Amino acid sequence: MFENPYRPGAGQLPLYLAGRENEKKRFKRLLDQKPVLRNTIITGLRGVGKTVLLENLKPASKEMGWLWTGNDLSESASLTEDRICRRLITDLSLILRPILVKSVDQLPIGFARQPEKFDIPLTFDDLWQIYDHTPGLSSDKIKAVLFKIRDLLEKSSVKGIIFSYDEAQNLSDHAIAGEYPLSTLLDSFSALQRDHHPVQMMLVLSGLPTLFPKLNEARTYTERMFDVMTLAKLDHENSKLAIVEPIEISKSKLKFAEKTVEEISNMSGGYPYFIQYICKEVYDTWIDQATDGIVTSVPSKEIVDKLDQDFFAPRWDNATDRQQEFMWVIAGLPNCETEFTQQEIVRQSKQRLKKGFSPSHTSQILKTLEDKGLVFRSRRSKYCFAVPLMSEFIKRQNLNYQNP
């Protein structure tokens, strides 16, 4: 019986991680910092393997004496300062339960003697009590908790604690509401790392390319606070390894022919999620038809149609008709899959539409599409699609917005 060795689910660990050795080495060097001067940001387009890399960094951290905790950051978790602090304390309490205990006095009913002492794990309530009883701002309160934990761990073998948060582009300050959860997080870790304590604490954030500009907007010193790893698509050789190695590792009797490997690599554009997705579909197509053999063809159209429905359509449908028209204009640019400017969009819209987009309208729509995670500002006056191969999807829709 054949078992499919490919795992295209969100954040699913592949059997083989291709092309990320340099990032893993960079992170190991950061683990050797004393004191911690640089935290870590992992950023890149959707489907480039940010979550997978994050999961792969855990084992090395634990081997080097670090505790690892964290979670996905939802928008609700970063609405207020108290909520982001509650997130930190919740995650902290989970990893401390097996390590830190508190001593409790127990006097059995009916016995007039000295109470017995026994130990129970430190809980969320214990940590929250420190937070709640500390005077000052939320940043003062969370720092009191983190400083206390460092002191409690000082005599242990723990080198430090890594707080790891995926989907961190959801973090933001809310000046209108008077809430600054992102600034609270940055200020807290900045203060911890200025105080050269034997027990270190490091922040690892993963998210879309909109993440770092948000951090820099909240606190300008973040440029000096983070080492930024921008994940690119895989080159041709690593794409091929990502395709063939899972079959080798799983000792599958079903093999991909060289022609098939080349075709899958080209279809995927080098994006790890697409590689896993396409390979799984190809493998499933053949799994019921082969006992021993070589896969010699790829049902390209059927796979692309399914990928459109599963991956692209939900994001496309999140845009309004006018925003879709706007992205159709972008998809007509020769540089649509790299970087484009507002001026290029305005010029292209006047050529392709009966009613083009003005510079001010272009700026407004780009901001809205940024908020929806469909585009991002890569650098000053330059923008990119946040979804890889989005322009190819748009072109396949056979849309007809152009001038009659």
71 and 215 both lie in a single domain: yes
DSSP 332: T
What does the pLDDT read at residue 111? Answer: 44
29 and 131 both lie in a single domain: yes
What does the pLDDT read at residue 323? Answer: 96
82 and 116 both lie in a single domain: yes
DSSP 380: T
Tell whether the torsion through CA atoms of 348, 360, 370 and 205 is positive or negative: positive
Contact predicate 166/70, CB 8 Å? yes
CATH of the domain at 170: 3.40.50.300
On the question of pLDDT at 14 being above 80, the answer is yes
Q: What is the CA radius of gyration of the chain?
A: 25
For every residue of 196-265, DSSP letters joined together read --SSEEEEEEEE-TTHHHHHHHH-TTHHHHEEEEEPPPP-HHHHHHHHHHHHHHTT-SEEE-HHHHHHHH
Contact predicate 351/335, CB 8 Å? no
Mean pLDDT of 379-390: 89
Query: Is residue 134, in this structure, part of any structural domain at all?
Result: yes
Whole-number average pLDDT of the chain: 89
What does the pLDDT read at residue 121? Answer: 74
CATH of the domain at 324: 1.10.10.10
Query: Is residue 193, in this structure, part of any structural domain at all?
Result: yes
Query: Is residue 4, in this structure, part of any structural domain at all?
Result: no
Domain count, the chain: 3
pLDDT tens for each residue of 230-256: 999 999 999 999 999 999 999 988 888
83 and 225 both lie in a single domain: yes
- Among 230, 245, 279, give the residue marking a domain's end: 230
Is residue 359 classed exposed, middle or buried when 0-12, 13-18 and 19+ CB atoms within 10 A define those classes? exposed
What does the pLDDT read at residue 120? Answer: 64
With a pLDDT cut of 90, the percent of the chain lying above it is 69
The helix/strand count (H/E) of the chain reads as 17, 11
On the question of pLDDT at 288 being above 80, the answer is no
Least confident of 4-18, 90-104, 200-214, 386-400: 90-104
156 and 301 both lie in a single domain: no
What does the pLDDT read at residue 25? Answer: 96
150 and 216 both lie in a single domain: yes
On the question of pLDDT at 29 being above 80, the answer is yes
| pLDDT category of residue 299 using cuts at 50, 70 and 90 | confident
Tell whether the torsion through CA atoms of 82, 84, 85 and 87 is positive or negative: positive
225 and 291 both lie in a single domain: no
Least confident of 25-34, 143-152, 331-340, 391-400: 391-400
Query: Is residue 88, in this structure, part of any structural domain at all?
Result: yes
- Among 270, 290, 313, give the residue marking a domain's end: 313
Q: 107-139 in b/e burial notation, b at 16+ Cβ within 10 A? A: eeeeeeeeeeeeeeebebebbbebbeebeeebb
73 and 215 both lie in a single domain: yes
On the question of pLDDT at 381 being above 50, the answer is yes
- Among 313, 330, 363, give the residue marking a domain's end: 313
What does the pLDDT read at residue 102? Answer: 59
What range does the domain containing 175 cover?
Answer: 21-230
Contact predicate 247/208, CB 8 Å? no
Query: Is residue 213, in this structure, part of any structural domain at all?
Result: yes
Tokens of 153: 């761990």
Contact predicate 47/273, CB 8 Å? yes
Query: Is residue 13, in this structure, part of any structural domain at all?
Result: no
135 and 207 both lie in a single domain: yes
38 and 150 both lie in a single domain: yes
The torsion angles phi and psi of 43, rounded to 5 degrees, stand at -135, 160
280 and 391 both lie in a single domain: no
pLDDT tens for each residue of 183-224: 999 999 999 999 889 999 999 999 998 898 889 888 888 888
Query: Is residue 195, in this structure, part of any structural domain at all?
Result: yes
Mean pLDDT of 23-42: 94
With a pLDDT cut of 70, the percent of the chain lying above it is 91
pLDDT tens for each residue of 120-134: 677 899 899 999 999
| pLDDT category of residue 161 using cuts at 50, 70 and 90 | very high
Mean pLDDT of 162-180: 92
| pLDDT category of residue 110 using cuts at 50, 70 and 90 | very low
Residue ranges of E strands in 36-159: 39-43, 66-72, 101-106, 116-121
pTM for the structure as a whole? 0.88
Query: Is residue 403, in this structure, part of any structural domain at all?
Result: no
On the question of pLDDT at 113 being above 50, the answer is no
288 and 375 both lie in a single domain: no
